[in-house]
Amino acid sequence: MQCFLLLMLLTMVFGQPMERTLYLTGKHHRNVVSIRTRKHIRNWGDNHFCAGSILSARWVLTSGCCVSTLPASTPSKVSTRKNLRVVLFTRRRLKRPADKNIFGVEQVVLDKVGDGDCSKLALLKLERPIIGQKFAMKLPTQKMNTTWLCRTLGWGRIYFNGPYSNDLLLLTTQESPDCKAHCGGCLCMGSYTGRGNMCQLDLGSPLFCGDFVYGVARQAHNSEEEGFMEYTSTFHKLKFIERTLNSARSQRKYTEFFIIITLILNWVLMA
């Protein structure tokens, strides 16, 4: 009987969803998330202020400017952890998703190294793991080539200084020689086709080159006719990302080990 109870407890511990790296399947829009305040203002979705991308089952990657400063587009004065909500798997900003796709934020980890808050990255730990989905991004293994064509996604604004788009926007982009980034680990991207102003995009929007996320939108170079967007390079921030994820995994393993020891001791004492 005691062995049976011990087996049940171990099953409960290790039967929980494990935090693991999920892989991108090519449907990039499934990777992009909407970051919002806890409550909407008048209508559902009008509290959206930043974008982000799924890094693993429990982690979302975004710009440090979205959580450490007050973006001009933020409808609320404060964005505390309790006040943040992350909405997954929604292409339409104003359409209410299923409750299972609305996540609270348990922890915010902000990179300590950067040229100003907006060049920093932020990792948001979700209050619960994402279950049954395989749309997380791959991190780069090499520096981005300036000749590559990439894509960036976000809700952004329909036109210069206009309202936010309801539908997720996609732009084909390439690193621009006409724009100089303001930080060493940043990329300056322009529209490859000439259609669409890069300034319209959300802060925190991911930059995809193939199936790898190479950047996180951090600052716009405002222009009514032609705009550029600076991205914090994830390749230059790999140490911060990997250190945060490894720390989380180590903490989980320590917790699991402590639970196992506690169960064994209880079983021995009851024997």
What domains lie within the chain, and their CATH numbers? 20-137 (2.40.10.10), 150-233 (2.40.10.10)
Tens-place pLDDT, residues 156-174: 776 766 777 888 888 888 8
Output the pLDDT for position 31. 87
User: Residue 105 and residue 80: Cα distance in Å, rounded?
Assistant: 9
48, 74, 76, 200, 203 from 41: Cα distances, Å: 10, 11, 9, 22, 20
* Pair 203, 214: CB distance under 8 Å: no
Output the pLDDT for position 32. 92
DSSP 33: E
User: Residue 228 and residue 178: Cα distance in Å, rounded?
Assistant: 9
**Strand locations in 9-147, DSSP E?**
32-37, 48-54, 59-63, 84-87, 102-110, 121-126
Strands 102-110 and 84-87: antiparallel
Output the pLDDT for position 246. 86
DSSP 21: -
* Stretches in the chain below the pLDDT threshold 50: 1-26, 69-80, 250-251, 253-258
Beta bridge partners of 197: none
Please list, residue by residue across 87-112, b when 16 or more beta carbons sit within 10 angstroms of its beta carbon and e when fewer do: bbbbeebbeebeeebebebeebbebe
Output the pLDDT for position 21. 35
Output the pLDDT for position 177. 79
Output the pLDDT for position 62. 93
120, 143, 220 from 181: Cα distances, Å: 14, 16, 10
Output the pLDDT for position 148. 92
* Pair 122, 62: CB distance under 8 Å: yes
Nearest Cα residue to 56 out of 220, 252, 218: 252
pTM of the model: 0.76
Output the pLDDT for position 260. 56
* Pair 163, 157: CB distance under 8 Å: yes
Output the pLDDT for position 253. 45
Beta bridge partners of 231: 187, 217
Please list, residue by residue across 193-209, b when 16 or more beta carbons sit within 10 angstroms of its beta carbon and e when fewer do: eeebbbbbbbbbbbbbb
**Structure tokens, 24:** 């991108």
Nearest Cα residue to 116 out of 191, 47, 203, 175: 203
